């Protein structure tokens, strides 16, 4: 899945390891960005026994890579923890386990599960302290299992917990299982289960009983039984529990039974005077010891046999689950759920139960599944039908939000050019053309212009946008729009929309404020301005400033929903018929009329900044001397 290179970093000067992901592991842009997000999560881990990530980047071929310290002292699998007599150095093993438990406790506390704890991922630097490395397949909790394209769960099966091998969701208890395997390996010099291939190894972890340690390591058996339990609920719940039992093992290991009995007998014999008493004491000790030892062995053998029988009766056969295709089990649940949500028209709401969220979550783990790709197109079509219905009925705000969501779905799944997306864009174009035609029938040039302005933000091609704008510009203006002709003198508000009124709209809709500065302005970075802070003090009743034309139109649609009346921006001709009443600074007001293309709109009136009666401004941003008022249509 990756290749690791030894390199020298120029600044600062140091040796580093560069891990470059293979193109087969991350075959598309979506998976590469997801991997990079995971690496950023891991890079935030700062612990003395976790290998740091220095840098994340892309190669010239677009493959993600990251750099980390070069640790020249090798990994734990290259070290022996056994003395010459074959017995383990228990103090050294316990010290190593405590360091690794500390690192896992830190990672788990920040929502990160390692998922590949093994001897090769425990490295040593110049300080000879163990460091946990290669969180390269780690995932934040809640992101589901990861499966390779060939259907194998990610991780090393020799250390892998049974639920991880089955492709199920895992938590920190899977890491503790792997740490138990590592502890067994350090104490005995071999793995608890050994097999010829990955599948056979995974089956042994799920099915075979936990092996028995040799007699001299009997005080570790309870610890191993908990660490290597088949079911997560029977294991240590967290690192604290595992660490506490490690303390008990350490205490028991200091005074093993055989040594303690031998010392007690020796101490007693030293106090007996004379050879006779010494011989008598030896004989008595032997007579008493033989039945006790025999009884102890017999009892333990009976207990083991009873436990074996219980295990045989209660253990479920894991083979069928192990042989099922790993990607399909969790994915099929998501597919069925999303299909049901689409059928019930729960496309984007409610927040905790909608098809959009279900599909996006499933895509994060299974981006290449054909059934999921098909479901993405199904959801795109369903959302598109709803958006086109809203657009046809002039519910432009709702349609715009839905189309933004559809484009996000296409971007995240690399399906922007799918047949479903192309059908949607064709439908948007057809619907806008029909609405412009109806505006032309009633000689409503302002409405036609406003309709054509929707084309670009809804993702239509530039050539299509220009064609619709040209058609809108050709709508005759010989007569007033119907809304203006039928409106009385009171239909056009004399006062601009106030800061208090706009604040209620912004709070209700959670609309993000537009910026006032030009993109090239340094002040835009150092002192950003928006309607809440235009650069000077304003009262709540004063006109709201720093709003774009789109902000003004969104406010008009929101006000229509609140009152049941239809509102829009006035044209220049309509505004000149009724002078505005402006309190505070002199300001200009947004108009519906287009300038050079509908990306620019007219503003009317001299302002404290510009002594011009009429200007044409970029409609995509706000200005600290431009507000707006509305015309209520009958």
CA distances from 278 to 140, 267, 272 (A): 68, 12, 6
What does the alpha-carbon distance between residue 257 and residue 390 come to, in Å, rounded to a whole number?
A: 81
CA 394/CA 154 separation, integer angstroms? 50
CA distance 47 to 286: 55
CA-based R_g, the chain, Å: 36
Alpha helices in 546-585 (DSSP H): 549-563, 572-577
> What is the full DSSP assignment across 609-629?
S---SEEEEETTS--TTEE--
Cα three-residue angle 484-490-495, rounded to 5 degrees? 105
Alpha carbon of residue 359 to chain centroid: 14
Please say whether the beta carbons of 327 and 147 come within 8 A. yes
Q: How far is CA 437 from CA 445, 481, 633, in A?
A: 10, 14, 20
Burial label, 350 (beta-carbon count in 10 A; 0-12, 13-18, 19+): exposed
Q: What residues form DSSP beta bridges with 75? A: 123
Whose CA is closest to 411, among 30, 36, 33, 63? Answer: 30
Q: What's residue 388's pLDDT?
A: 93
17: enclosing H helix or E strand: strand 14-21
- 383: Cβ–Cβ under 8 A, 6 or more apart, which residues? 347, 348, 356, 402, 405, 406, 409
Q: Closest Cα partner for 185 from 74, 79, 71?
A: 79
> Is the separation of the CB atoms in 187 and 88 below 8 Å?
yes
If one looks up domain 2-69 in CATH, what number appears? Answer: 3.30.200.20
Q: Backbone phi, then psi, for 319, in 5-degree steps?
A: -60, -45
608: nearest Cα among 545, 556, 551: 545
One-character DSSP codes across 491-536: GB-SSPPBHHHHHHHHHHHTPPPPP-S-TT-HHHHHS--BTTB-SS
Q: Do residues 441 and 448 touch, judged by C-beta distance below 8 A?
A: no
Full-model pTM: 0.44
- The span from the CA of 51 to the CA of 14, in Å, is 15
- List the end-to-end C-alpha distance of the chain, in Å, as a whole number: 66
Dihedrals φ, ψ of 566, to 5°?
-95, 130
Scan for tokens 């009983």, then name that residue. Answer: 209
Measured in whole angstroms, the distance separating CA 634 from the mean position of its chain's CA atoms is 49
Contacts of 122 (CB under 8 A, 6+ apart): 75, 76, 96, 100, 130, 131, 132, 133, 182
When the candidates are 3.90.1580.10, 2.40.50.140, 3.40.50.10310, 3.30.360.10, the CATH number that belongs to 487-633 is 3.90.1580.10
Tokens of 488: 């009385």
The Cα–Cα gap between 567 and 450 comes to 13
Domain ranges of the chain: 2-69, 76-254, 328-482, 487-633
Residue 22's pLDDT is what?
A: 80
- Verify whether residue 336 is a known catalytic residue: no
Q: What is the 3-state secondary structure (H, E, C) of 197-220?
A: CHHHHHHHHHHCCCCCCCHHHHHH
Judge whether 400 and 356 are in contact, CB under 8 Å.
no
Q: What pLDDT was estimated at residue 485? A: 35
Give every CB contact of residue 541 below 8 A, 6+ residues apart in sequence.
498, 499, 500, 583
pLDDT of the residue at 483: 32
Which positions of the chain have pLDDT values less than 70?
Answer: 1, 25, 27, 30, 136-155, 254-329, 477-490, 517-527, 595-597
Q: Active-site residue among 116, 134, 551, 624?
A: 116
Q: Which CATH class is domain 76-254?
A: mainly alpha
């Amino acid at each position: 899945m990756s290749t690791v290179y030894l390199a020298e970093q120029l600044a600062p000067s140091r040796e580093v390891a560069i891990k470059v992901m293979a193109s087969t592991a991350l075959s598309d842009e979506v998976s590469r960005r997801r991997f990079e997000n995971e690496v950023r999560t891991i890079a935030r881990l700062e612990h003395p026994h976790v290998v740091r990530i220095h840098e994340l980047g892309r190669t010239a071929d677009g493959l993600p890579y990251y750099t980390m310290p070069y640790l020249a002292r090798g990994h734990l699998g290259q070290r022996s923890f056994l003395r010459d007599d074959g017995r383990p150095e228990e103090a050294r093993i316990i010290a190593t386990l405590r360091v690794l438990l500390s690192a896992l406790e830190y990672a788990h506390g920040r929502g990160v599960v390692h998922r590949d704890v093994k001897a090769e991922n425990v490295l040593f630097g110049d300080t000879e302290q163990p460091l946990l490395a290669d969180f390269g397949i780690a995932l934040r909790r809640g992101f589901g299992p990861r499966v390779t394209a060939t259907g194998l769960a990610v991780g090393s099966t020799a250390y892998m917990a049974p639920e991880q091998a089955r492709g199920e969701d895992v938590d920190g208890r899977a890491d503790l299982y792997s740490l138990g395997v590592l502890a067994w390996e350090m104490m005995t010099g071999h793995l608890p289960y050994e097999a010829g291939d990955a599948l056979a190894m995974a089956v042994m972890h799920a099915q075979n009983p936990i092996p028995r340690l040799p007699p001299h390591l009997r005080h570790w058996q309870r610890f191993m039984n908990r660490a290597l339990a088949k079911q997560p609920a029977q294991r240590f719940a967290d690192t604290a529990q595992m660490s506490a039992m490690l303390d008990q093992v350490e205490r028991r290991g200091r005074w093993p039974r055989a040594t303690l009995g031998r010392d007690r007998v020796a101490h007693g014999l030293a106090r007996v005077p004379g050879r006779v008493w010494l011989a008598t004491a030896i004989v008595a000790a032997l007579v008493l010891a033989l039945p006790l030892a025999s009884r102890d062995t017999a009892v333990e053998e009976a207990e083991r046999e009873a436990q074996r029988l219980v295990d045989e009766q209660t253990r479920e056969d894991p083979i069928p689950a192990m042989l099922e295709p790993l990607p399909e089990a969790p994915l099929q649940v998501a597919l069925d759920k999303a299909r049901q949500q689409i059928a019930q028209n729960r496309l984007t709401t409610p927040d905790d139960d909608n098809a959009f969220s279900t599909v996006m979550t499933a895509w994060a783990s299974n981006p290449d599944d054909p059934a999921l790709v098909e479901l993405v197109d199904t959801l795109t079509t369903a959302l598109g039908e709803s958006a086109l219905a809203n657009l046809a009925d002039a519910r432009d705000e709702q349609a715009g939000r839905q189309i933004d969501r559809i484009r996000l779905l296409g971007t995240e799944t690399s399906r922007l050019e799918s047949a479903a997306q192309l059908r949607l864009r064709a439908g948007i174009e057809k619907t806008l053309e029909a609405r412009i035609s109806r505006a032309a029938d009633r000689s409503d040039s302002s409405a036609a212009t406003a309709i054509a302005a929707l084309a670009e933000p809804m993702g239509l091609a530039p050539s299509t946008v220009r064609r619709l704008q040209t058609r809108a510009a050709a709508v005759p203006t010989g007569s007033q729009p119907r809304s203006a002709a039928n409106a009385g003198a009171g239909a056009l508000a004399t006062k601009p929309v106030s800061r208090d009124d706009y604040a209620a709209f912004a709070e209700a809709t959670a609309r993000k404020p537009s910026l006032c500065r030009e993109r090239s302005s340094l002040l835009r970075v150092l002192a950003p301005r928006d309607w809440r802070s235009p650069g000077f003090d304003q009262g709540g009743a004063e006109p709201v400033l720093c709003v774009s034309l789109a902000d003004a139109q969104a406010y008009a649609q929101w006000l229509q929903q609140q009152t049941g009346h239809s509102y829009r921006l006035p044209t220049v001709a309509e505004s000149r018929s009724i002078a505005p009443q402006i309190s505070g600074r002199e300001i200009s007001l947004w108009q519906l009329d287009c300038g050079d293309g509908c990306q620019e709109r007219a503003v009317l009136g001299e302002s404290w900044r510009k002594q011009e009666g009429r200007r044409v401004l970029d409609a995509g941003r706000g200005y600290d001397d431009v507000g707006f008022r509305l015309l209520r249509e009958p």
